[in-house]
Amino acid sequence: MAKELKELTKRSENYSQWYQDLVIKAELAENSAVRGCMVIKPYGYAIWERMQRVLDDMFKETGHVNAYFPLLIPKSFLSKEAQHVEGFAKECAVVTHYRLKNDPEGKGVVVDPAAKLEEELIIRPTSETIIWNTYRNWIQSYRDLPILVNQWANVMRWEMRTRLFLRTAEFLWQEGHTAHATREEAEIETRQMQNVYATFAEQYMAMPVVKGLKSESERFAGAEDTYTIEAMMQDGKALQAGTSHFLGQNFGRAFDVTFIDKEGKQEYAWATSWGVSTRLVGALIMAHSDDNGLVLPPLLAPIQVVIVPIYRSEEQLNQIREKVAGIVSNLKAMGVSVKFDDADNKKPGWKFAEYELKGVPVRLAMGGRDLENNTIEVMRRDKLEKETISCDGIETYVKNLLDDIQKNIFQKAYDYRESHTITVDTYEEFKEKIEDGVFILAHWDGTAETEERVKAETKATIRCIPLEGDKTPGQCMVTGQPSKQRVLFARAY
């Protein structure tokens, strides 16, 4: 076993440390010289790139186009929508000056006090304000609507307690911002994007999610409704994996974005916003990986198949190269990403451990005996199972195996979530069961007071009001007051 694997903390011993170890040792990211910010390393960024490509195609299939808006937002813009500024005020990084100068005492550079900005600029925590100020110039008539724009960008939210990918001061994301002529159109858009995120999470990330509405206290600042997808990690905690917000006419009013409707009346535009971030890389790690390293679903793995030669001489290596060349070519023609690792600076055992750690879904190995027998060793990362099969038809076999791995990873995560989701009717049982790391479906009276009490006493929050499932009315587990339906409680990241 390679040194990296020996030093990987077991999930059962310390889940948080296991996650941190894995991010570092699999070379996904590391902490930077800037407090709270991370360096995303090439392998981690390759996973994010694959996510981007899939999501970008899904957005474009639903009629959206990409644009880019400024990083810096005038402070006055954030004052125009009261709930919005209140939600982000404590996380904002502020630019106050535009120039440095040499320190007269020779101690490097200092801020030039003469270069103070007339109005401070905010490094965007999110872009609703700058975008809706722009939309005011784009929209005059109902014929200008809808506007369906997405932006891939970075944002800054000043975090004191950070964790790589899951919560950092700066992170990468996409943010969709759409404008509509009617409430109905905007609400349809909001739900459509929630469904896009759910499809991506389940079909590509192999991560089952619960679709629901956020409670009022958990909504996005400035939204009338927030739709969410919630996923269970292997420690039983929830992770919010994507949100889509119905913003009503709040930003249309705040930035005076009006249009003439079909009846010739002046109306405020209706808004939505929606986004996912590099937090999804963290979700991918925590949903599937094991004590040996990453377990990546094939559809998002940077390398889907790695081929490692085992040889005794340069002549034998050349024979293996020749034999494997056709397999590599055929797999690539089938759309499979393949790496043939014939580097001579690492032994095969080290390579096996490294690709296991990095979660490559399928590993093929060929040695001298395989050459003689026209066979190849196949190992699937999800089950750590090996078999030796004929090279004849190996490409089709591997392609089918990748499909099976994708399905198996999803099913394993789904079964885990189902076995760790329970129904509770009393608050005493709730307080006991929440310690087990579970999702709990329980009745809630709909008040912020009860929600805050549960959070203060148990550290569990309402993750969502599920859109599907049991809608039977009942009594709140805490107060006994009427409840419209069960809601989903969990501790969360």
Helices and strands of the chain, counted as H and E runs: 15, 27
Report the C-alpha gap between 476 and 450 in whole angstroms: 9
Judge contact between 245 and 213, C-beta under 8 A: no
Tokens of 253: 């009013």
Please give the span between the terminal C-alpha atoms of the chain, in angstroms, as a whole number. Answer: 32
What's the number of CA atoms in the CB half-sphere (13 Å) around residue 270? Answer: 19
Residue 212's pLDDT is 98
Angle at 244 between CA 467 and CA 470, to 5 degrees: 5
Residue reference for tokens 């994301």: 173
Report the C-alpha gap between 33 and 39 in whole angstroms: 9
Closest CA to 45 of 232, 302, 290, 220: 302
Strands 305-309 and 362-366: parallel
Angle at 132 between CA 128 and CA 133, to 5 degrees: 120
Report the C-alpha gap between 187 and 232 in whole angstroms: 27
Task: Give Cα separations from 67 to 70, 73, 134, 282 (angstroms).
Answer: 11, 16, 12, 26
Residue 84's pLDDT is 87
Tokens of 240: 């919010």
Write the pLDDT tens digit of every residue in 363-388: 999 999 999 999 999 999 999 999 99
Sheet holding 439-443, edge to edge: 65-66, 147-156, 170-180, 270-277, 238-248, 225-232, 209-213, 461-466, 486-490, 439-443, 421-423
Question: Phi-psi region for residue 222, left (φ > 0), alpha (ψ -120 to 50) or beta?
Answer: left
Residue 81's pLDDT is 85
Query: Phi, psi (5° rounding) for residue 110?
Result: -135, 165
Strands 209-213 and 225-232: antiparallel
Strands 421-423 and 439-443: parallel
Largest CA-CA distance found in the chain, in angstroms, rounded: 83
Peptide linkage before 473 cis (omega within 30 of 0): no
Q: Which residues pair with 94 in a beta bridge?
A: 122
Report the C-alpha gap between 276 and 313 in whole angstroms: 50
Report the C-alpha gap between 252 and 271 in whole angstroms: 7
Closest CA to 427 of 451, 402, 409: 451
Judge contact between 64 and 176, C-beta under 8 A: yes
One-letter amino acid for residue 87 of the chain: G
pTM: 0.96
Report the C-alpha gap between 420 and 435 in whole angstroms: 12
Tens-level pLDDT at each residue, the chain (493 residues): 445 455 899 999 999 999 999 999 999 999 999 999 999 999 999 999 999 999 999 999 999 999 999 999 999 999 898 788 888 989 999 999 999 999 999 899 999 999 999 999 999 999 999 999 999 999 999 999 999 999 999 999 998 889 999 999 999 999 999 999 999 999 999 999 999 999 999 999 999 999 999 999 999 999 999 999 999 999 999 999 999 999 999 999 999 999 999 999 999 999 999 999 999 999 999 999 999 999 999 999 999 999 999 999 999 999 999 999 999 999 999 999 999 999 999 999 999 999 999 999 999 999 999 999 999 999 999 999 999 999 999 999 999 999 999 999 999 999 999 999 999 999 999 999 999 999 999 999 999 999 999 999 999 999 999 999 889 999 999 999 999 999 999 999 9
Judge contact between 448 and 474, C-beta under 8 A: no
Judge contact between 279 and 157, C-beta under 8 A: no
Tokens of 151: 């932006």
